[in-house]
Structures are given as C-alpha cells and as structure tokens.
Amino acid sequence: MNNRHDHANRKKAVALSAAGLVLVAGATVTSLAAWTDTEWVFGGADGAQSVGTSSFEVEQNVTNDTTDPSLWVNRETAPGGQIDFSAEASSLTPGDTVYAFVRLRTEAKSDAGELTLNAAVPGDKSSIALFDALTYQAAVVPDSASCNETGLATPTQSLVAAGKGLTTGSGTATFKLDADGATLGAAGEKTVCFALTLPATHASGDALQGLSATPIWNFTASSL
C-alpha cells in the first residue's frame, strides 16, 4: 500500500515539475529585451547644411552719378534723401513747374520688390498754406535725363497724374524692382520723376508769397 502511494506521489511530483519547467521556460522567452535603434535627421536646403531666410532691401540714389557705389544708400526714416528740384524751386511763381528724381534698386542678393508711392507729408517748419497749394505728378521714366516735361508726357509708368495735391499717393499704381538689382547696373534701376507745380490759379493776391514748404514722400516696398 505504501509503495503504491509513494509511487503515485512521485508521478505527481514529476508531472508538476515538468509543468513548472514549461512555465519557467515561457517566462524566460517573454522577458527577453527587444532590439532598439535610433535614427536622426536635420533640416537642410538643396545640399546646404541649414535652412535660412532671404533678404530684401531697397536702395536709393538721388544723383546722376553712375560710378560711385557709395551714393547708393537706404534711408528708412524721414526726411530721407533730398531730391533736387533745382534752384528755381526756392523762388516759385504761379505757373512754375520744377522737376526732381530718385533712382531706386534692390541690393545685391535681395529679393525682387513691389513699390508704392505714398502721399507726401509736410516737413518741419513747412507753411501748410503753401503745402496745400502745391500740386504734383509722379511717374517712372527711363532714366534721370528723362525727368522733365517731355519725359513725363510719355512715361514708362504713371504713378500720380498731373495736378494732384501732395496728399495723393499712387494707390494701386505700383512698380516693380528686379531681384539683385545692384549687380544689374542700369538695367536693375527704376527712376521716379516728380514734377512740382505752383498752379497759376494762385497768381492773384499775396497770401502765398515768401513762404516755404518741404514735401516728404516715402515708398512702401514689399518683397516678391
């Protein structure tokens, strides 16, 4: 009796031991760590090692000089560069018109741009009576030599029609500057001509005599 009982117990023990081996083996397999890896990337641009920004800058030149690069500057605060209406502009009489120009271009490596001429504002110590009496015309002309009555009669592009008050801007009449203008020479420039007039209608009376005014214009430029 005892031998059979002991034999049965041994069988049971063996069976449980085998089951235990299976359980242990299963636990060992599921506890193995997975393989891991890491991949990195960085942002570049067509082979360059980084991304970056473009540049946009407009320059002006108020002279006829085509040889001195130092005359091309950017003036981003009022009153800016002085355009020369000639000596006659200091002693206007009713019916007189005087002319002045500014040459514009983009800097080297600059994006192209679109420019809008804004209404003039009176400079310091300006006579508002004279400022309000003056009229003007503005247009893009082929070059500075074309900034005269003939050139404004057939401009490259009209910006402000003749006879408009100084508080009139070009509105939707914009003009474009090529990219990288400083490297294009004359082909990269645009010349804007201004005609300033004291209308003949002010001939009678002396209310405007002996006065002075400084009209200040600016161009708003957006990159393209």
pLDDT of residue 23: 46
Paired tokens of 64: 């006829």
Residue 48 CB neighbours (<10 A)? 9
pLDDT class of 219 with cuts at 50, 70, 90 = very high
Question: How confident is the model over 10-63, as pLDDT tens digits?
Answer: 444 445 444 444 545 555 555 567 899 999 998 999 888 899 999 999 999 999
Longest Cα–Cα distance of the chain, Å, equals 149
pLDDT of residue 16: 44
SS (H, E, C) the chain: CHHHHHHHHHHHHHHHHHHHHHHHHHHHHHCCCCCCCCCCCCCCECCECCCCCCECCEEEECCCCCCCHHHCECCCCCCCCCCCCCHHHHHCCCCCEEEEEEEEEECCCECCEEEEECCCEECCCCCHHHHHHCEEEEEEECCHHHCCHHHHHCCCEEEEEEEEECCCCCCCCCEEECCCHHHCHHHHCEEEEEEEECCHHHCCCCCCCCCCCCEECCEEEEEC
Region 198-202: what's the mean pLDDT? 96
Let me know the angle formed at the C-alpha of 43 by 112 and 40, rounded to the nearest 5 degrees: 175
Block residue for tokens 């393209």: 224
pLDDT of residue 48: 87
Give the percent of the chain with pLDDT over 70.
Answer: 86
pLDDT of residue 31: 59
pLDDT of residue 161: 98
Residues 6 or more apart whose Cβ sits within 8 Å of residue 139: 151, 152, 155, 156, 157, 158, 159, 160, 192, 193
Let me know the angle formed at the C-alpha of 118 by 137 and 98, rounded to the nearest 5 degrees: 30
pLDDT of residue 176: 98
Question: How confident is the model over 106-115, as pLDDT tens digits?
Answer: 999 999 999 9
Question: Sign (positive/negative) of CA torsion 165, 171, 175, 179?
Answer: positive
pLDDT of residue 142: 98
7 versus 215: the higher-pLDDT residue is 215
Give the percent of the chain with pLDDT over 90.
Answer: 81
Cis peptide upstream of residue 79 (ω within 30 degrees of 0):
yes
Cα distance between residue 83 and residue 102, in whole Å? 6
Q: What is the mean pLDDT of the chain?
A: 90
Cα distance between residue 146 and residue 87, in whole Å? 19
pLDDT of residue 43: 92
Question: How confident is the model over 93-126, as pLDDT tens digits?
Answer: 999 999 999 999 999 999 999 999 999 999 999 9
pLDDT class of 136 with cuts at 50, 70, 90 = very high
pLDDT class of 1 with cuts at 50, 70, 90 = low
- Ranges of each domain in the chain: 58-223
Let me know the angle formed at the C-alpha of 142 by 161 and 104, rounded to the nearest 5 degrees: 85
Block residue for tokens 């015309």: 137
pLDDT of residue 121: 97
